[in-house]
Amino acid sequence: MNETDLHFFIDSTVNYFEEVTGEQAITGIPYLKGKEPVVLDYSGIIGISGKRKGCVYITTTSEMLKSLANIILNDHQATIETVKDLTGEIANTISGNVREAYGSSFMISVPVVVEGRAKDIRLPEHVQTFVIPITWKEYKSFLVVCLE
C-alpha cells in the first residue's frame, strides 16, 4: 500500500460525508496501526479480494451514526438496528467507490458489523495497516485500511 492508495480512501471518505450531509469531514494524518485496538462503538468491515486483498473497516460512535440517520431518514430516534445497518453501509460505500480508481477487479464483500469496544478487529499480521482519523462535526471515527 502506498500514498496513492491512501488518497483513494481519503477522497472516498470525504465524498461520502459531503454527499450525504452537505458538510465536509476532515481527515487527519494517516498513521500505521500498532498493537492498540482501534475500535469505537460500531465497526463496519469489508473484505477485499481480487487483484488486491485485505480488508477495510470504519469504526465510529453511536452518536455519529444517530446524527447521520437523522439526516438520511429524518429519524430522530434511530434504533440500534438502524445504527448497525448504517455502519455497514458506510463501509460498503467508501470501499465500493474506490473501484473508480482500482476497477472491477477490486472485489468487495458484503459488510460485517461488529458492536462494542471490547476487542480489536483481527487483521492480517504480515500486511501494513493504516489508520485514517476522521472528524465530522464534533464526532470522531477511524477508517482502517489493510491492503496487500
Partner 1 sequence: MQEKFKILIIDDSVTIRQAIEKNLSNFPLEVVGMAGDGKTALELFRNTQPDVVTLDITMPELDGITVLEEMMKIKKDVKVMVITALKDKATGLRAIQIGAKSYLVKPFTSEKLKAAFSRMMGIN
- What residues numbered 45-104 form the site for partner 1, per CB under 8 A? 69, 72-74, 81-82, 85-86, 88-89, 92-100, 102-104
Residue 54 Cβ vs partner 1, minimum distance, rounded to whole Å: 17
Nearest residue to 131 (alpha-carbon basis) of 22, 45, 65, 57: 57
- What residues numbered 1-30 form the site for partner 1, per CB under 8 A? 15-16, 19-20
**Opening angle at CA 133, ends 39 and 76, nearest 5:** 70
Classify residue 91 by burial, with Cβ atoms within 10 Å: 0-12, 13-18, 19+: buried
Contact positions vs partner 1 (CB under 8 A): 15-16, 19-20, 69, 72-74, 81-82, 85-86, 88-89, 92-100, 102-104, 106, 108-110
